Amino acid sequence: MSPILVGIKRVIDYSVRVRVKPDGSGVVTDGVKMSINPFDEIALEEALRIRERNLAGEVIAVSIGPAEAQQQLRTALAMGADRALLVQVEAAVDPLTAAQVLLKLVQKHAPQLVILGKQAIDDDNGQTGQMLAALWDRPQATYASKLELDGIVARVTREVDAGLDTIEIDLPAVVTTDLRLNEPRYIKLPDIMKAKKKPLEVVTLAELGVAVPGERIRTLKFESPPQRSRGVMVKDASELVAALAQRGVL
Amino acid sequence: MNRALIIAEHFDGKLNASTAKCVSCARAIGEVEIDIAVLGADPAAVAAEAAALAGVRRVLTVTRPENSEALAAVWAPQLAVLARDYTHLFGPSTTFGKDLMPRVAALLGVGQISDVMGVDSAYQFRRPVYASNAIITVQAPAGSIVVATVRVASFQPAAGGGHAAIEPAQAQATLPTHTRFISRSAAHSDRPDLQTAARVVSGGRALASAENFKLMYQLADAMGAAVGASRAAVDAGYAANELQVGQTGKIIAPELYMALGISGAIQHLTGIKDARTIVAINKDSEAPIFEVADIGLVGDLFTIVPELEKLIRARKA
């Protein structure tokens, strides 16, 4: 059976209050907790559930990032991925390059599905899945909250601004996950031990035949957003209504 | 001279307000001619609405039965053809635009800028990252087309009163059949649209049930407000997913945002930072929502909200 490819990005943990460096060159990462992008955990969980229903072969976890991203891939293996692949890069790659890398892996592994998070919570771009689908010339089902496989097609419910859309896509295809697709499982201690023995391969962009592009979209500087300040407290509903009326917002 | 193409978002034969926001963003890049592309099975009515937006030169209609639903895989190849004549391609940072624009950018072989919140020049933009905990300034290469999504909460809609020419356009492209629209379940409501409403009443986990969440609708109706929800309330099933406000839901900028029983996780605050006035009602006086609220009230929702509704109805009567 065809495998499922899952993207795993190493990002600053969602609970960390991110701060901009004083020189505007980036955000503070020293001593900051790093984790799997939460949407990618959901992607992995969905892939595992599909495999557990015997509807897919191996689940391959792929990360594009620094050597330290091996930590997140080990976590993915502990969750249940069969093997992991790190495409090691020193500087962060843009979504189009990430899509080109994933396309190479798709050509090599011929998965039935590539499941990615709908966005990474660091750069908040939300582009890689759609770009991969374009380069691969295959369907995309973004913002998935339900995924049903039926032979060579999948039926996907998507969370959109108007409500819920359902589309049918031919496989292979790219699916990106929204929050309510599933709840990722917790990792148990024996799984961590088992994960140490699972294969984790490291390759470079050059080995994959992907050229490192010049920066397509160049980041010039980081700034802290303007802060809102604490306002006034009122005692009860009638004081609140008076305060709202005074501001002319009722 | 810059030439910008905006992809119109429309639904049920009506132009979405996000399109007028994209026009304002496009006008901010400097000297520019602005066209709007309307794809659809029968785009005439939407095209007429788009033609009335001030500052638009032409509205291009691409009429094909396959365009009846906005499937990114179907629309992207057509837009990639239309985009050849332009220096800039803008779409809204709504689920429609976020789904479509990266696919177009990849077909054009260029990067994409997500969530433009400010324009410094035709090739320099500001956008939020890390759930709006940082704002970055980015520069696109001047030699290739700029493809970007526009954070609709950051721009005022373009005014009406325009008289753009409406012209049919050919976008010769082979369209895939691998992606098929099946159905849509949308909550039809007479309330204002959450994304563009002037007032929003939003409920959180403290509502504790879908039944109690109805309090939000009652208060919203008294105020003529839209209803929103925190992720916690949506995850718990108290409110529908399309009501979610925050980093991964809708980013909104109403005149008045009422956060009721919402603690104020950073991911939620991301969605409301641009609101003019934020009101927080919460029984926990330590809740982080109070750090950003213009008006705060510590107390029990279940007594305060009905009182509030009564007082507001009395004022209006």
Confidence of residue A90 (pLDDT cuts 50, 70, 90): confident
CB contact under 8 A, B312 and A250: yes
Mean pLDDT across A105-122: 97
Among B241, B266, B304, select the one facing A237 at the smallest CB separation: B304
Architecture of domain B2-168: 3-Layer(aba) Sandwich (3.40)
Top CATH class, A4-217: alpha beta
What is the dihedral sign for C-alpha B193, B194, B196, B202?
Answer: positive
A122 touches chain B (CB under 8 A): yes
Interchain CB distance below 8 Å, B129 and A134: no
Encode pLDDT of A167-202 as tens digits: 999 999 999 999 999 999 999 999 999 999 999 999
Q: Chain B residues with CB inside 8 Å of A159's CB?
A: 95, 241-242
> Touching check for A161 and chain B: CB below 8 Å?
yes
Residue whose tokens read 């929050």: A179
Contacts A18 to B, Cβ<8 Å:
130-131, 133-134
pLDDT digits (tens, 9 = 90+) for B114-148: 999 999 999 999 999 999 999 999 999 998 999 99
Q: What is the pLDDT of residue A229?
A: 83
Between positions 203 and 222 of B, the ones with CB within 8 A of A are none
3-state secondary structure (DSSP) of residue A27: strand
- Among residues of chain A, what percentage have pLDDT more than 70? 100
What pLDDT score does A250 carry?
86
Residues on chain B touching A180 (C-beta within 8 angstroms): 234-235, 241
pLDDT in tens, B242-289: 999 998 889 999 999 999 999 999 999 999 998 999 999 999 999 999
Any idea where the domains of chain A sit in the sequence? 4-217
The mean per-residue pLDDT over the stretch A159-171 comes to 95
Give A24-31's long-range contacts (Cβ < 8 A, gap of 24+): A24/A221, A24/A222, A24/A223, A25/A221, A25/A222, A26/A222, A27/A222, A27/B130, A27/B133, A27/B134
* pLDDT at B189 exceeding the cut of 80: no
**Residue A71 banded pLDDT, cuts 50, 70, 90:** very high
User: Which residue, among B284, B62, B247, has the nearest Cα to B173 in the 3D structure?
Assistant: B62
A123 has a pLDDT exceeding 80: yes
Does residue A122 contact residue A109 with C-beta atoms inside 8 Å? no
Question: Does position B299 have pLDDT exceeding 90, yes or no?
Answer: yes
pLDDT band at A104 (very low <50, low <70, confident <90, very high): very high
A228 pLDDT exceeds 90? no
Beta-carbon pairs below 8 A across chains A and B: 258
Q: What residues in A contact B315, CB-CB < 8 Å?
A: 241, 245, 250
Q: How many Å apart are CA B52 and CA B70, to the nearest integer?
A: 22
Among candidates B95, B130, B315 on the partner chain, residue whose Cβ is nearest the Cβ of A18:
B130
Please state the rounded mean pLDDT for residues B99-128: 98
Q: Which of A127, A130, A237 sits opposite B307 (nearest CB)?
A: A237
Q: What residue segments make up the domains of chain B, in order of their start? A: 2-168, 199-316
On the question of a common fold for B2-168 and B199-316, the answer reads yes
Determine contact, residues B263/B282, Cβ cutoff 8 Å.
yes
Write down the pTM of the prediction.
Answer: 0.94
Report whether pLDDT(B187) > 80: no
Q: What is the pLDDT of residue A142?
A: 98
- The CATH homologous superfamily to which domain B199-316 belongs is TPP-binding domain (3.40.50.1220)
Average pLDDT over residues B191-210: 94
- Do B184 and A219 count as a contact with CB atoms less than 8 A apart? no
* Residues in chain B within 8 Å Cβ distance of A163: 184-187, 240-242
Give residue A141's pLDDT. Answer: 98
B13 backbone dihedrals φ, ψ, rounded to 5°: 75, 10
Identify the three-state secondary structure at position A202: strand
